[in-house]
Amino acid sequence: MKQIYQQTPEEVLKHVNSRESGLTGEEVKRAREACGWNELAEGKKKSIPQIFFEQYRDFLVLILIASAIISGVLGDMESALVILIVITINAILGTVQTIKAEQSLQSLKTLAGPEAKVLRDSTVVQLPARELVIGDIILLEAGDMIPADGRLIENASLKIDESALTGESLAVEKSLDTLSAEVSLGDRTNMLFSGSFVTYGRGRAVVTAIGMQTEVGKIAGLLKSTSEKQTPLQVNLEAFGKKLSILILLFCGILFALSVFRGEQPGNAFLFAVALAVAAIPEALSSIVTIVLSFGTQKMAKEHAIIRKLQAVEGLGSVSIICSDKTGTLTQNKMTVEDYYIDEKRVPASAIDTMDPAQRYLLDCSILCNDSTNENGVEIGDPTETALINLGSRCGIHAAEVRSTYPRNGELPFDSERKMMSTLHKIDGENRLIVKGAVDCLLERTEQIWTKAGVRDMTADDKEKIQKQNQEFSMEGLRVLAFTYRPLPEEHLLTAEDENHLIFLGLIAMMDPPREESKAAVAECIRAGIRPVMITGDHKITAAAIAKRIGILQDLSEACEGADIEHLSDEELKALVPNISVYARVSPEHKIRIVRAWQERGMIVAMTGDGVNDAPALKQADIGVAMGITGTEVAKDAAAMVLTDDNFATIVKAVENGRNVYRNIKYAIQFLLSGNFGAILTVLCASIAGFPVPFAPVHLLFINLLTDSLPAIALGVEPHSSEVMNEKPRAAGESILTKDFLSKIGLEGLIIGIMTMVGFLSGYHQNGALLGSTYAFGTLCLSRLFHGFNCKSDHPVLFTSRFFHNTWLLGAFALGAVLITAVLTLPGLHLLFKVESLNLVQLGQVYLYAVTSLLLIQALKWIRTISKKNGENNGSK
Ligand code: ATP
């Protein structure tokens, strides 16, 4: 049987039961039932029981279970039962957290998945690539990822980068020709393969294989489950957690030896030491980071920023430079033609006369050398080009009519490197190439000029007039396109060389107003210590005019062109970048150099991009940001974050979210570590002072259950505030566990420890060891619950509305307080929890000690805030 590439397009279409107009809805349904979804099978997912039992994988938990069972067998059934129940509840909580985090990461993956343009029932639709079926007709243009394997059925200079599959780094040209012999993958020139991407041109293909049947699927079949890469913060915390665990284990070991030495029963002493280790080791540290990060990404997705790489969330918090495109990101990308310049005259769009042959010719050229459409109000294509189509409609000229009168016989598509595009048509019996593009680029290639009296050689004076007009338009912030043309011989095969020896026809100037929110977003960036930089393919004067309006630039001297930095060495560029706020006429290679120069200066750079050539710069940047609407699939694939509204303000919002997420993670860690430290201090203190151990093992486990993950997660979802934008960006590479942070943890832990000890002593003096440990248990548990409120902010929150604004934290507090109060007061629970029943006065005392720890820590925050303010005031004097 013939291979697909040995069949003609018609044969392939027949083979897959399709046609050029695409499949019908019914056919798609049937094909899906037969072949499934277009996706690569991921490694087997873990089942819920698997996740549940993984919670017990912890060595200490296993030892604890073993020692609980032993103590049960030896007679202490109550303790054994409570310990097992507490551990099971803990495992259930852990399972729910893991599943939730996985679900939110999965939904993010779906959001950020690739899309494809497909022809179905003769209509072009944009779909998630996973919905493709065999027989679908896909439409491709530069920057698209190939979503499935397919046979070309239409080709306009397609070049494909197949390096992912074949290792060949040069893009390969494709053709429609049917091959006669059997050839290897790299030589199947009429086939497209999933995983490669279009670097140039346009085309259509019929899908012949999807999912695991594609060439890349056959390789992927060998892959096992894909494990998520950890973020630097997770790695950092895991390493810290390990060191801390060793310290705690050592401490517990010494404590065990000491207790046995003092005559304690080894079994009891062992159980206590293990319970203390379980309670003190912050095992939730890195999983809380995952949960908070994934909640953060969900919030960001709702606010139009889709995070593709989890690292980006924490990276966003330290971004110090945002390099942004202009068109569509800082501006609205809603273009309207304002003026023509033709035959040495400036003609406002409202006064265009279609009876004037020159103006009509320019209008026709702008419709012909154009890929956009506007049918029944549905605009498809580049807004620059849609503006030209819309101008035609405003003048009563329909694009479809002009295009059918002068069909396109060839084309050289637009790319941001050449900054021009050309199309070939038969006009007035002549084979004519229409070339439109950036004025400066086209003027270099222009030799003649069209005038009413006929075409003549272009003089220096003509050129100067055009440049002056271009300058005038640009200073008004208008985007200018030049239109030129040239005759070509019949049956001519187009090459880039043909875009020379051109005849100048006219200029078209269009307005693309800044987005309303850009100015405020730029101001916010500056307030947050972030430098906004505009990098655009547009003209320097136009770019500077827009940049000035939104506050990125003050003076034209802060603008330069790509050509100006071309001859600079990397060192020179590094010295120059702080002085430049606008880079114009930039090509994608310049973008990489600018990012690197800033990075060399120790800055964390976010960079936007949309085109196929932007992918390397997006990868180079610390946070590559792709445009969701106008961006190519290749750019999205390379980016760490995708903006679903292409808006600069969304990047600033994402930075704010990133800073808030980081802040919340910090609060959660502060809560966990200081509380655990308080517990250890109490035990240490009691043992040094020669008192009996202040807690029973079940107390420690109960405290661990109630006051570990729940309030920590609640702190992780603390409502975001714009306060974080008043601070400077976090230094690159700064560890979360700074000296200052650790000293705060130490001090707060100390206060909790002291109050717990006070509680213990007061109980102990009233009625001996059991009441002492009941008091210590109650005080530590409640102090830690109250401590959640301390960790909401670096400033005091006690008498502010902020104290109450996190309902999750209020819920975690209420649940904990009700349960501990029940344990301390309900007679039925005393035996189980090894406590003495408290009367109302005693319960009040326990609450008082816990509240005192809250008050003391709040007072500490108040002193810190005041002294920081004084320091700042003295500094600014
Ligand atoms: P930004 O880089 O901020 O998105 P931009 O859209 O101007 O701005 P490019 O798309 O690289 O950047 O375009 C560079 C120049 O090429 C434009 O200033 C314009 O002169 C010209 N140009 C843009 N679109 C087209 C097009 N469809 N056909 C021909 N020339 C174009």
What are 427-483's pLDDT values in tens digits? Answer: 988 999 999 999 999 999 999 999 988 899 999 999 999 999 999 999 999 999 999
User: What is the band of 673 on the pLDDT scale with cuts at 50, 70, 90?
Assistant: very high
Active site residue 325: yes
pLDDT at position 222 is 47
Taking the C-alpha atoms of residue 319 and residue 86, their distance in angstroms, rounded to an integer, is 43
- In angstroms, what CA-CA distances link 191 with 119, 135, 159, 197? 18, 14, 12, 12
Domain 336-511, CATH class in plain words = alpha beta
Residue 608: helix, strand or coil by DSSP? Answer: strand
Answer whether 419 contacts ligand 1 (Cβ < 6 A): yes
Q: Which of 322, 324, 327, 647 to mutate to test the pocket of ligand 1 (most atoms within 8 A of CB)?
A: 327
Cα 675-676-682 angle, rounded to 5 deg: 90
Answer whether 585 contacts ligand 1 (Cβ < 6 A): no
pLDDT > 70 fraction of the chain, expressed in percent and rounded = 97
Tell me, what DSSP letter sits at residue 41?
Answer: P
pLDDT at position 202 is 87
Pair 200, 159: CB distance under 8 Å = yes
Q: Dihedral, CA atoms, 295, 300, 301, 302, nearest 10 degrees?
A: 100
- In angstroms, what CA-CA distances link 560 with 312, 499, 573? 30, 27, 12
Q: Which of 382, 416, 480 to mutate to test the pocket of ligand 1 (most atoms within 8 A of CB)?
A: 416
Query: pLDDT of 606-617, one tens digit each?
Result: 999 988 888 889
Tell me which of 325, 371, 614, 646 is the catalytic residue: 325
Q: Give me the sign of the Cα torsion angle 557, 559, 563, 566.
A: positive
Answer whether 383 contacts ligand 1 (Cβ < 6 A): no
Residue nearest ligand 1's atom 12 by CA:
537
Cα of 420 vs centre of ligand 1, distance in Å, is 8
Residue nearest ligand 1's atom 30 by CA:
437
| Token duo for residue 717 | 């979802």
Query: pLDDT of 808-866, one tens digit each?
Result: 999 999 999 999 999 999 988 888 888 999 999 999 999 999 999 999 999 999 999 99
Q: Is the pLDDT of residue 372 over 50?
A: yes
- Between helix 709-716 and helix 697-707 the angle, nearest 10°, is 20
Q: Is the pLDDT of residue 227 over 90?
A: no
- Where do the DSSP E strands lie in 229-366? 305-307, 321-324, 336-342, 345-348
pLDDT at position 407 is 94
pLDDT at position 710 is 86
Q: Which of 372, 444, 536 to mutate to test the pocket of ligand 1 (most atoms within 8 A of CB)?
A: 536
Query: Which of 180-194, 225-239, 272-286 shows the highest mean pLDDT?
Result: 180-194
Range from 14-23, 125-134, 306-315, 659-668 carrying the lowest mean pLDDT? 306-315
pLDDT, mean of residues 214-236: 65
Taking the C-alpha atoms of residue 351 and residue 392, their distance in angstroms, rounded to an integer, is 13
- Where do the DSSP E strands lie in 386-475? 408-415, 420-427, 430-438, 446-451, 454-457
Taking the C-alpha atoms of residue 145 and residue 734, their distance in angstroms, rounded to an integer, is 37
Tell me, what DSSP letter sits at residue 17?
Answer: T
Helix, strand, coil share of the chain (percent; to 5)? 55, 15, 30
Cα of 539 vs centre of ligand 1, distance in Å, is 9
| Token duo for residue 282 | 């912050």
Pair 576, 557: CB distance under 8 Å = no
Q: Is the pLDDT of residue 385 over 80?
A: yes
Cα of 419 vs centre of ligand 1, distance in Å, is 6
pLDDT > 90 fraction of the chain, expressed in percent and rounded = 55
| Token duo for residue 769 | 């060891």
DSSP β-bridge partners for residue 485: 434, 503
Cα of 323 vs centre of ligand 1, distance in Å, is 17
Q: Where are the alpha helices (DSSP H) in 734-839?
A: 739-790, 807-825, 830-833
CA 495 to chain centroid:
39
Taking the C-alpha atoms of residue 209 and residue 192, their distance in angstroms, rounded to an integer, is 10
Query: pLDDT of 628-641, one tens digit each?
Result: 888 888 888 889 99
Taking the C-alpha atoms of residue 860 and residue 32, their distance in angstroms, rounded to an integer, is 64
Domain ranges of the chain: 4-42+114-225, 282-303+653-719+737-876, 315-332+515-646, 336-511
pLDDT, mean of residues 394-412: 92
Residue nearest ligand 1's atom 13 by CA:
537
Range from 50-64, 249-263, 300-314 carrying the lowest mean pLDDT? 50-64
Identify the CA nearest to 509 among candidates 390, 335, 328: 335
Taking the C-alpha atoms of residue 625 and residue 328, their distance in angstroms, rounded to an integer, is 13
Tell me, what DSSP letter sits at residue 514?
Answer: B
Identify the CA nearest to 705 among candidates 824, 816, 833, 822: 816
Pair 210, 31: CB distance under 8 Å = no
**Exposure class string for 630-647: b at 16+ Cβ within 10 A, else e:** bbbbbbbbbbbbbbbbbb
- Residues near 807 by Cβ (< 8 Å), separated by ≥ 6? none
Q: Give me the sign of the Cα torsion angle 342, 347, 353, 354.
A: positive
Answer whether 385 contacts ligand 1 (Cβ < 6 A): yes
Residue 430: helix, strand or coil by DSSP? Answer: strand
Q: Is the pLDDT of residue 788 over 80?
A: yes
Q: Which atom of ligand 1 is nearest to the CA of 370?
A: 27
pLDDT at position 746 is 95
Q: Is the pLDDT of residue 28 over 80?
A: yes
pLDDT at position 498 is 95
Q: Which atom of ligand 1 is nearest to the CA of 419?
A: 16
Cα 315-648-233 angle, rounded to 5 deg: 10
Answer whether 374 contacts ligand 1 (Cβ < 6 A): no
Taking the C-alpha atoms of residue 330 and residue 639, their distance in angstroms, rounded to an integer, is 19
Identify the CA nearest to 822 among candidates 715, 706, 739: 706
Answer whether 384 contacts ligand 1 (Cβ < 6 A): yes
Q: Is the pLDDT of residue 321 over 80?
A: yes
Tell me which CATH code domain 315-332+515-646 carries.
3.40.50.1000
Answer whether 660 contacts ligand 1 (Cβ < 6 A): no
Tell me, what DSSP letter sits at residue 494?
Answer: P
- Residues near 93 by Cβ (< 8 Å), separated by ≥ 6? 705, 709, 710
Q: Which atom of ligand 1 is nearest to the CA of 437?
A: 30
Q: Which atom of ligand 1 is nearest to the CA of 479?
A: 18
Topology alike, domains 4-42+114-225 and 282-303+653-719+737-876? no
Residue 127: helix, strand or coil by DSSP? Answer: strand
Q: Which atom of ligand 1 is nearest to the CA of 585?
A: 14
Cα of 386 vs centre of ligand 1, distance in Å, is 13
Place of tokens 């294989």: 209
Answer whether 481 contacts ligand 1 (Cβ < 6 A): yes
Q: Which atom of ligand 1 is nearest to the CA of 543?
A: 3
pLDDT at position 221 is 53
Architecture label for domain 4-42+114-225: Distorted Sandwich (2.70)
Q: Where are the alpha helices (DSSP H) in 439-511?
A: 439-443, 460-475
Answer whether 627 contacts ligand 1 (Cβ < 6 A): no
**Exposure class string for 124-155: b at 16+ Cβ within 10 A, else e:** eeebbbbbbbbbbbbbbbbbbbbbbbbbbbeb
pLDDT at position 44 is 66
Range from 55-64, 570-579, 696-705, 855-864 carrying the lowest mean pLDDT? 55-64
Q: Is the pLDDT of residue 780 over 80?
A: yes
pLDDT at position 224 is 39
Q: Is the pLDDT of residue 346 over 90?
A: yes
Answer whether 189 contacts ligand 1 (Cβ < 6 A): no
Cα of 186 vs centre of ligand 1, distance in Å, is 33
pLDDT, mean of residues 697-706: 87
Pair 337, 387: CB distance under 8 Å = yes
User: What is the band of 354 on the pLDDT scale with cuts at 50, 70, 90?
Assistant: very high
Q: Is the pLDDT of residue 225 over 90?
A: no
CATH superfamily, with its number, for domain 282-303+653-719+737-876: Calcium-transporting ATPase, transmembrane domain (1.20.1110.10)
Cα of 373 vs centre of ligand 1, distance in Å, is 18
Query: pLDDT of 126-157, one tens digit each?
Result: 889 999 999 999 999 888 889 999 999 998 88
Cα of 470 vs centre of ligand 1, distance in Å, is 15
pLDDT, mean of residues 349-367: 94
Query: pLDDT of 258-305, one tens digit each?
Result: 888 888 888 888 888 888 888 888 877 777 888 888 888 889 999 999
Answer whether 538 contacts ligand 1 (Cβ < 6 A): yes
pLDDT at position 731 is 82
Taking the C-alpha atoms of residue 15 and residue 710, their distance in angstroms, rounded to an integer, is 58
User: What is the band of 226 on the pLDDT scale with cuts at 50, 70, 90?
Assistant: very low
Query: pTM of the predicted model, to two decimals?
Result: 0.82
Taking the C-alpha atoms of residue 315 and residue 340, their distance in angstroms, rounded to an integer, is 46
Integer Rg of the chain from CA: 34
- Give the 3-state secondary structure of 269-292: HHHHHHHHHHHHCCCCHHHHHHHH
Cα of 537 vs centre of ligand 1, distance in Å, is 6
Q: Which atom of ligand 1 is nearest to the CA of 539?
A: 18
Q: Is the pLDDT of residue 232 over 50?
A: yes
Query: pLDDT of 702-731, one tens digit each?
Result: 888 888 778 998 999 999 988 899 989 988
Cα 433-434-440 angle, rounded to 5 deg: 120
CA 535 to chain centroid:
20
| Token duo for residue 584 | 């114009």
Range from 108-112, 468-472, 679-683 carrying the lowest mean pLDDT? 108-112
Cα of 487 vs centre of ligand 1, distance in Å, is 25
